[in-house]
Amino acid sequence: MHTDSVTIVAPSSREALRLVREQLGPDAIIVSSRATAAGAEIVAMLETAGDARPAPAPTLAPVVAVPATVAAPVVIQPATSAAAPSGTDSNGSVISEIHSMRGMIEEQLAGLVWNDKQRRDPVRGHLLRTLLGAGFSASLAKAMLDHLPTGQNFASGMAWVKAELARNLPLMENEDALMDGGGVYALMGPTGVGKTTTTAKLAARCVMRFGADKLALLTTDSYRIGAFEQLRIYGKILGVSVHAVKDAADLRLVLEDLRDKHMVLIDTVGKSQRDRSVSEQVAMLCGAGRPVKRLLLLNAASHGDTLNEVVHAYKDSAGGNQLAGCIFTKTDEATHPGALLDTVIRHRLPVHYVSCGQKVPENLMLAERSQLVDSVFQSASRSALFVPGEADLGELPAALNNDAELAAASAATERLRGQCRQLIRVLAQDAEELAANAAALAGGGIGFETSSRLWRDLADDSIGSQAVVHKLLAHAKTEIGVACNSHVLAISGKTELAASRSGDAYALQSSVLLSDRDGMPLAAPHQLLSTAFAAAANGAVATPALRQLAWVHGQDFGKPVVHLLDKMPAPGLIESWQAGMSWLARARGTTCVLDGAGRTSLAKLAARLVFDAPQAMLYKGKPAQQMLAETTVALPGDKRHDASTFNLRCVAVRIVDPHSGKLLAGWYLLANLAPSATASQLAAWACWKQAADPYYKLLKKAVQQLDACTEPGDSQMQKRLLVAAQVSTTVWRLAHNRDSWAGAARTLLAQLAGHRIRAGAASATSAAALFEGFGKLIALLDALALDADSVPGLAPAPGTAALPG
């Protein structure tokens, strides 16, 4: 293959590109581009022979647009034969194509990542096929195998899988507690699941423990012919009374009559999970006058999607009545019982009993973890027509046993990468606008470079949370040096989270650093996850919040930190902070203070103050005027009242309508800051603190999108929380930036995420759409294999699934 290269220097990138096309034609390949003192420099070459392009592939003509001030990535578009029709808006066409195909692109990229993991660790693929063959869903199987320790053989890997399943399987731990506690239990589920037979089996266990006189049976099934008669026969054999009820009122009366019974079992009418009357059945049990514990029967022979629908339909918590647990039925008929375990693990639904036949009471056993897990893999069908096998799933290669097979698999993966990359190129048609937006984001001063690098760190398991913290601290110091005048502002907020695996409640205490110039979030260098805690009373600050304040206070950011607090701290805490922790808090007008005239409230004190001249401002987006007054106060109740220790600055703020003079808002600020921070600065900081508080709603949505809150034992969870918080600061700054480039970038990210946002909107919902689009943008840039060196911060991190250039 012979190549000729030329170097073109021109005053602008467009002029340089025009000269390249004139000299080398439309098939020129851009080797490099950079901005120099003389202008834009482009090195290009023309391949004259030996083109290895596949025959079906369209002729690709590389095109580049490089602004003189910012080097843009090399972007490839199809030749004119594949170009958009004339008169079509190029950017709209590109984005609509990307949006319409983004699902396929994401599926391809996710498959590439999973294939890479399997190629590096073939045991993972073997285990995945085993789990799928047993009936587990691909999502649960892949999520579990993502945490499989490396270096396992199949036997040790299978032992690890079974241990993980047993650890996560929710069970009724103590049958004695259930039996001794007694009460009313309703057995529910779809038609044909075996409710009546299981009711009889459970009744037999109760009779053997307490005697027949302590138990009663009820049935609400007035639809199925012989339903009551079947239960009556069982009751006669056991010597237990049986009652039929027809509606909610009847149920209340019967249960009232049976209050002397230790346990009452209700055999309910079977209803399809898609029957809207399921909720009515649940409501009837909730309004029975006595607490009714609901047990859901799950048919082991059902498909996994069917089981999932059943649980969703019957777990309705109307009136606070959650499902107490479940019972597996027809396990002797199941071909892929893994779907049962998958369902209860995902829904955290405790398994009480396992029914494996028609015999009463022999075929009802207590659920036992290891036995359940072992039985799943022992009973897998050998003729699984409806579970994909290796021939059906090209993305599930067989275990690789030698170098030749490994090389062949690697070559196949590389071919798939190339096909995916070519597909995306064809779809993108003219990705020049995509590159321009990426370059604008990188140069927009919103932390995009750091956030994009951190996003790529998510895919690199070798990068731990401590390494991310070091990067965040370095980024925070850089941002503070550029964006802050004399102080750095710090806010701390609590975000309530639920673990995605167990549903347990947690609280994320997060600190965010703000600019003292415009109040924009700069960095989120520290996150503290704890168990959910209630709001502290009497001005006390919860322990996690105190730990966050102490952590921020202990850092050297090059400028003094001012903590913007949600409320006034207790006097004792203020005393401990006087040694050097600067703070500003908004206080109520009823707050008691001491001034030269004695004890008073802030509202009464403000009425005696002289306010300065009105200053124009915006309040809730509309013109207003602000007036300030300042004095010095102390807080009553302190043990000592030394003026140099306990005197606080008090700033009263009034905001009025500029035309009518009507008071729009008023608040009172207390701070221990030196006079170098003016009263107008304190007022502005308090406003910015209030404006930044919705950041924590965005953070919660970001954590959910990244599935960042799993369980405390997850080694990568803290890293995901840190990345979610930092990327949220970038998204927040983009959402509130009013420059023209930011509007175009917001539109791009929203469309990549499949959303549409209103012009000028900056709500938590629209910001969450931008966060989703941010991740899609990074994946798309990697997939297009753009020249990473030409856009700062876009270099793929090691271990990511970026397609080869």
CATH code for the domain in which residue 655 is found: 3.90.350.10
Residue 139 to residues 132, 504, 783, Cα–Cα distance (Å): 10, 20, 23
pLDDT digits (tens, 9 = 90+) for 622-639: 899 999 999 999 888 655
Average pLDDT over residues 377-388: 57
Residue 425 belongs to some domain of the structure? no
Average pLDDT over residues 458-475: 91
The secondary structure element, H or E, covering residue 15 is helix 13-24
Confidence of residue 64 (pLDDT cuts 50, 70, 90): very low
d(CA 368, CA 174) in angstroms, rounded, equals: 11
- Among the three residues 29, 52, 69, which one is the final residue of a domain in this structure? 69
Same domain membership, residue 204 and residue 64? no
Same domain membership, residue 203 and residue 60? no
Kindly tell me if the per-residue pLDDT of 198 is higher than 50. Answer: yes
- Taking the CA atoms of residue 340, residue 345, residue 347 and residue 352 in that order, the dihedral angle to the nearest 10 degrees is 70
Same domain membership, residue 366 and residue 484? no
Tell me, what amino acid is at 184? V
Lowest mean pLDDT among 20-34, 411-425, 661-675: 411-425
Same domain membership, residue 501 and residue 353? no
pLDDT of residue 802: 33
Same domain membership, residue 364 and residue 228? yes
pLDDT of residue 783: 65
pLDDT digits (tens, 9 = 90+) for 567-602: 887 777 777 777 678 999 999 999 998 888 888 999
Evaluate whether 665 touches 655 at the Cβ level (below 8 Å): yes
Evaluate whether 514 touches 692 at the Cβ level (below 8 Å): yes
CATH number at residue 347: 3.40.50.300
Confidence of residue 419 (pLDDT cuts 50, 70, 90): low
Residue 780 in tokens: 């798309």
Same domain membership, residue 693 and residue 545? yes
Number of domains in the chain: 3
Residue 118 belongs to some domain of the structure? no
d(CA 790, CA 75) in angstroms, rounded, equals: 11
769 vs 96, which has greater pLDDT?
769
pLDDT digits (tens, 9 = 90+) for 71-89: 333 333 333 333 333 334 4
pLDDT digits (tens, 9 = 90+) for 641-681: 444 446 899 999 999 999 998 999 888 999 998 888 999 99
Residue 424 in tokens: 């995306």
- Domain residues for 622? 467-697
d(CA 300, CA 351) in angstroms, rounded, equals: 13
3-state secondary structure of 100: helix
pLDDT of residue 515: 95
Same domain membership, residue 584 and residue 478? yes
The secondary structure element, H or E, covering residue 216 is strand 215-219
Lowest mean pLDDT among 17-21, 177-181, 544-548: 17-21
d(CA 620, CA 576) in angstroms, rounded, equals: 36
Nearest alpha carbon to residue 528 among 568, 497, 563, 501: 497
d(CA 244, CA 759) in angstroms, rounded, equals: 62
Residue 757 belongs to some domain of the structure? no
Residue 486 belongs to some domain of the structure? yes
- Among the three residues 653, 673, 697, which one is the final residue of a domain in this structure? 697
Same domain membership, residue 475 and residue 617? yes
Average pLDDT, the chain: 77
Most confident of 126-130, 189-193, 516-520, 781-785: 516-520
Average pLDDT over residues 298-317: 84
Same domain membership, residue 481 and residue 370? no
CB atoms within 10 A of CB 453: 19
- Among the three residues 314, 344, 378, which one is the final residue of a domain in this structure? 378
Ramachandran sector of residue 18 (left: φ over 0; alpha: ψ -120 to 50; beta: rest): alpha
Could you tell me where the DSSP H helices lie in 624-763? 643-646, 679-692, 695-705, 717-736, 740-752
Residue 629, judged by CB atoms within 10 A of its CB (0-12, 13-18, 19+), counts as: middle
615: Cβ contacts below 8 Å, ≥ 6 apart: 625, 626, 627, 680
Is-above-0.75 flag for pTM?
Answer: no
Average pLDDT over residues 23-37: 68
Residue with tokens 């045991």: 123
Average pLDDT over residues 311-339: 79
